[in-house]
Amino acid sequence: MTDTHPPPAGQAPARHGLIRWLWRDYLWKRWPMMLAAVVLMAVEGGMLGALSFVVKPLFDDVFVARNAAAIGWGALAIGGIFALRALSGLGQQVLVAVISERAAGEMQKDTLAHLMRLDHAFYRTHAPGTLIERVRGDTGAVVQFFGGVVAPFGRDLVSVIALLGVALSIDWVWTLIAILGAPLMIGPVLVMQRLVRRTSRAARDAAARAATRLDEIFHGIVTVQLNGTEAREGSRYGRAVDDYVGAMVRATAGGAAIPSMMDVIAAIGLIGVLFYGGAEIIGGEKTLGAFLSFFTAIALVFEPLRRLGGVSAQLQIVLASLERVRALMDEPVRVTDPARPAAPPAVDRAGPIRFEGVTFAYAGGANAPALRGFDMLAEADRTTALVGPSGAGKTTVFTLLTRLADPQAGRITLGGTDVRDLALKDLRALFSVVSQEAALFDETLRDNILMGRSDVPEAQLRAAIEAAAVDEFLPRLPRGLDTPVGPRGSALSGGQRQRVAIARAILRDAPVLLLDEATSALDAGTEAAVQAALDRLSRGRTTLVIAHRLATVQGADRIVVMDRGRAADQGTHAELLARGGLYADLCRLQFADP
């Protein structure tokens, strides 16, 4: 999968909008700490000006006039300047860290919360690695914004003002000569800013592609190793890394060019002052202390100016990342709660399920619609099976019923109520789901069964464990229910993972069961035991079963035969065999004697 929703190119108004968004949603609430940090930045920055200021009396009174008594106050002044600079620097860095890390953490939480509200179609076109890079990597721009933009700007701007103030107080002509070449930098700086913004955006995109490659490799490591494609996958990841490295080098070079140009301007200015001011010193028009104080101020001013030049480059890098985060946050939530939700059905009885003329196509899909005018009735307290060839639309039925996506046409009702009229939480509480791939998390076995519930008595938990045959392998686990199952349940076998998912569904005890090849990973003996448990659980409930192995659904009350997004036929196993057609053909393929 690839990211088909790149962030906008970003003109100036968009940049301003990004900063406003950052300020409004994440920074404004911390304005007292920000104000304190700015004050400390100003104090730290002003100390350079104070240092250059004391150079004149230090040289004129101590070294030229040979006033030994002035050494004490000179040492005290210099010591106080450096002590104040150290304390203010430490304080503002701690405050900046607190502000930026908390803001970045909030942005990560908000981004994930928004992503978890997006529909199934979004995740078909956005790879997990890309989204991980957006949530974890790009939100780090908040930290960069403070550490690389706000802090240097606040501190170094005050330093520049203070140092230029000292220089102007000594000789405005010298100051003019020193900064005469600065306007020549405006054009090149603007060019470099655009270059850095563009290359930084490319670097973030390349980082997302590299993260996607890693996610796919680690998720499919068994397939990679069994097919001997380590070199191929390593090469593909290598190309993504090379793209990232190349983009980052270009972005870094563009950012470094700005302060480098500042060095050239500084050299020209200082050479001019040396010739012009040197003549005045020799002529006795200015004191040596005045010249050294001025030279110190001008020499020091170009260092914060260099950093301020780098701030503009860093800002472009930050904005490139914020664009990507904001693009995710602006992704519309298409499946939402109704304005006035209907009352949900009774917990113990959901009623019949109807699909009426439902049409659905996945966004960006190159194939035909997954469902085309699909009609189906799943009666209450009955088991309805969905069968058909791969790609017939069976899983899409579950997707639309649970509102992981909404159809483009048609209507789906549950107990006579349109599912779009129910609050999402109320609707999804009506379903217990077991799918082909059991989704387990890197937590304990207990946590994976309970799924966050704290109201389940131990006896009820044990009953669900026994019904799903989890108790057969539980004694072999080192810590029993408190054994971590590993990433994606990797510490368990496929059959064990499926039994955990079944225990989870049994414990949920919802009025509608959705079973997508629920016993596909079990051996024959365990399958029989678990199937019996599911049969008991389905009594008095509306059950929908997706099956490829037709032997598992022969006893269903109704079998819906799907083909190319439509209901090709419906009936019992015997009725469908008697009529012939697609179902009979599928049976002949699976059984020697249907």
Domain annotation covers residue 503: no
pLDDT for 6 equals 42
Residues 31 and 146 in one domain: yes
Residue-level pLDDT at 560: 92
Residue 414 parent element (H or E): strand 409-414
Order across the sheet with 353-360: list the strands: 371-378, 353-360, 409-414, 417-418
Which regions of the chain are under pLDDT 50?
A: 1-13, 593-594
179 lies in the same domain as 252: yes
User: What confidence score (pLDDT) does residue 3 get?
Assistant: 44
| Residues 147 and 284 grouped into a single domain | yes
Helix-helix angle 230-282:186-219, to 10 degrees: 160
pLDDT at 356: 93
Residues 45 and 138 in one domain: yes
Q: Is 176 exposed, middle or buried (0-12, 13-18, 19+ CB in 10 A)?
A: middle
pTM above 0.95, yes or no: no
Give the residue numbers spanning the domain of 47: 12-329
| Same domain flag for 246 and 380 | no
pLDDT at position 8: 40
The CATH number that applies at residue 312 is 1.20.1560.10
Answer yes or no: do 207 and 237 share one domain.
yes
CA distances (Å), origin 142, targets 314, 411, 473: 12, 44, 47
pLDDT at 237: 79
Same domain? For 303 and 419 the reply is no
pLDDT at residue 71 in the model: 66
Burial level of 458, CB count in 10 A (0-12/13-18/19+)?
exposed
pLDDT at 412: 94
Query: Tokens 């006893």 label which residue?
Result: 555
Task: Answer yes or no: is 417 within a domain.
Answer: yes
Exposed, middle or buried by CB within 10 Å (0-12, 13-18, 19+), for 290?
buried
Q: What CATH number does the domain containing 593 carry?
A: 3.40.50.300
Claim to verify: residue 194 and residue 323 sit in the same structural domain = yes
My answer on whether 322 and 364 are in the same domain is no
The pair of structure tokens assigned to 522 is 């079990």
Sign of CA dihedral 5, 6, 7, 11: negative
For residues 325 and 357, state if they share a domain.
Answer: no
Q: Does some domain include residue 304? A: yes
Same domain, 139 and 221: yes
